[in-house]
Structure 1
Amino acid sequence: MDTQVLIIGAGPTGLTLALDLSRRGVPFRIVDAAPAPFAGSRGKGLQPRSMEVFHDLGVIEPVLASGRLDLTMRVYQGREVLREWDAHEGRHPTVERPYARTMLIPQFRVEQVLREALPQPVEYGMPLTSFTQDDSGVTAVVGPQTVRAKYLVGCDGGKSFVRKELGVPFVGETHADLRMYIGDVRVSGLGRDHWHQWGSRADRWLALCPLPGTDLFQFQATGDGEDEPSLALYQRIVREHTGLDDVILHDATWMSLHRTNIRMVDRFRTDRVFLAGDAAHVHSPAGAQGMNTGIQDAYNLGWKLGMETLLDTYEAERKPVAEWLLGMTTAIMMSGNPFERRGDETLQLSLSYRTTEGEGLQAGDRMPDGITEQGRIFDLLRGPDFVTLDFPDGPVLVRPDGYVAAIGRSAIDAYFGANPVTQLHHRRVAARSAA
């Protein structure tokens, strides 16, 4: 074998998977067809659960330093402010939920932080052109090389070559009437302390959002999509929607026309090949879920590839999440108020892999943070292992991805009995409550 895991695609999904595998000592290669890192902000909202993932992976500090949590929304008619609000009003960090709000951070900065944390570089200009698999591995042609890997993971986006080559159906629909011009632009005539919006109709709406840590704004505008993106077109849209002559676009570093697709695969795995992120599910951008859900896919899959066990549970756990996600984001999109305050489900903190119902913390739930005499729970959990937290009222076994595996000694023993390999990746920590 040339490597254990070949990752196709170096967006947030592929990079998260690579970083997770690296801390487990799992050999990997990560390749991307593009000649260089993507420089645009397709996504710009990082959810609290993703921040918790990045805490575990050891990159939360540069992420927090690069984003912003306190940007308020403003709706205008011309220059007149009609309304101003905080979409996360009342959400504050707590001991159990230290990251309480969606963070604004351009996708290219998230990717940069992840790349810089990797022990080896992304291989750019290496398109996947074919692959075959057998009982022991996958043979793939990437760029000029033939690579033999034990597993291959397609993190190569909505137009995924991996998915198409597998013949996996991408079931859903395209909303041809819902098109949005997007891009990263430099603007004069607007302050950077608000997310500026004009228009109340879904088909006639404009937003300019300052991207933290840059001198750029993200441009978003609905339209008929009949014209190709250009700076002149974007400037005309600004003039028509705002009626202002002094809001000037000076240049654009990236532009695109987004067509709303709501689709997902009927399976996340075909033998030794897996699909993750947009390769497995695409949806409305409403609710800022896409980049985050890909991060969660990778986080769920990484430890299972590292242990080479429980791999069938990847699809069993992530497919229901993707189905729910498509329904939730579509509902937000159709509501006509995509920037109103949302429930906790958009923060991804309430997502669970429960198989049974009950009150209080259950197996499958996200393990909350907390303070013990030994330190912060999230710090005690940091690392690639299962961890048993020995609380005074009984032990809790937490999976490597921060979800509860079992509660109580008999349930923990049964879990290890059913999954004996996991015992090899396990440590115990006393977790007495802090005084």
Structure 2
Amino acid sequence: MAAPSLQDGIDRAGSAVGLRWTDTPQPWTPPVVEPEYAGWRTEQAAWQHGVALMDLSYHMWDTFITGPDATRMLSELSANDYEKFAVDQAKQLVVVNENGFLVGDAILLRRGEQDYVVTGRPTVQNWITYHARQRGYDVDLASDPDCSRDPGHIPPFFRYQIQGPHAQQLIEAAFGGPLPGTRFFHASHVTLAGKHFRALRHGMAGQPGYEFIGDHADHAPVKEALMKAGEQFGLERVGSLAYPTAQAEGGWVPAPVPAIYDDTPDQRAYRSWLPLHTPDGMQPLNGSFHSPDIADYCVTPYELGYGRSVSFRHDFLGRDALRALRDAERRRKVTLVMDADDVAAALGTGHGIVNTLAKQRVEADGALVGKTEYTAFSDPYGTLLSLALVAPDKAAPGTRVTVVWGDHPGGGVAPDADLGFPRIRATVQPCPYNEFARAGYRKD
């Protein structure tokens, strides 16, 4: 019997929101990595004030793309510019549907003239794989899943991020000197412990540092060398509890709802091809913001701040629609810094670590003005930080808003029903909230 498709799941549930909605969500944590090493508070402080090692080897999917049409295919299926895309350069891959709304983003690394690897959630990778087959590109595609379903699965790469104010000192100690001058999101080839791998200028928390990417068979000696060099700088390993909270400081929304739910023949065909048991079908929707229309959860690249990655110098799927959205009135991505006393009252003083993709209502004077996209507790800041999309007239730093904190029960209850949820006062601040991530992360 064939495995159910995403469309099968929607048909049985009655709607995309009906399929994904839950009022009992479970927080996501990366597989395989220990929950804590020195304690999540200490680990959070390390990437801000010291130096941290993050092991990204196990929770991301990789899709390898090679063949004569690899570059042409990627150019025609994404909004990025490929004219000056160098070997050993990475991009934030931005993919939209035919209406210009965001399907997803991922990291695209060019390893050769017609050799790429897409890394991240499988959303973009599935979309590209499907359209590659439908359009008949001369490419080879191979995907490697994360380790969430099989902790014993061996991934193709190790990925270690060293980041924080002392990252450069640690790296120079480990490698015996500074690495070759490398621009942001570019990689150089390096050697450590007799192993050869790439050093990519990149970091999830928006802090100074590198991501080291190499053959997973070499992971142990490379990690050992980094940790030994880090002893004198107070290196902290980051566990699976603290790691997902870094995005709230760095300003990256990790899992926006993909715009793959339109009622069109093409998208229905795609959903009929896509297995149900993928993050696109099974990742829950929850929070105090509730709408029966899945379109109300979708976003544009511009709303998430991806305009810098969009180029209209080539033709691609959704190009004309995306161009029309460029100058349209849209929500603004901001950081909401929640009042610590209100957080304690709503969650309790001993609430522990928090990271959630819940879509919580953002209100001003009792009226809906936006919704949260990702929220996490940051111990160095002493409160919850939320990446949110709000109306333009509420986006100025210093604006006061209220976050309605709770989980709407779903269908059958009015979206704007007063369910007695706690209200948390918050102040609008820039996104990213971390000053280095905002002002210094991409400067070179």
TM-score normalized with structure 1 length: 0.29
Q: TM-score, normalised by structure 2?
A: 0.29
Question: Which of structures 1 and 2 has the larger relative contact order (alpha carbons within 8 angstroms, sep 6+)?
Answer: 2
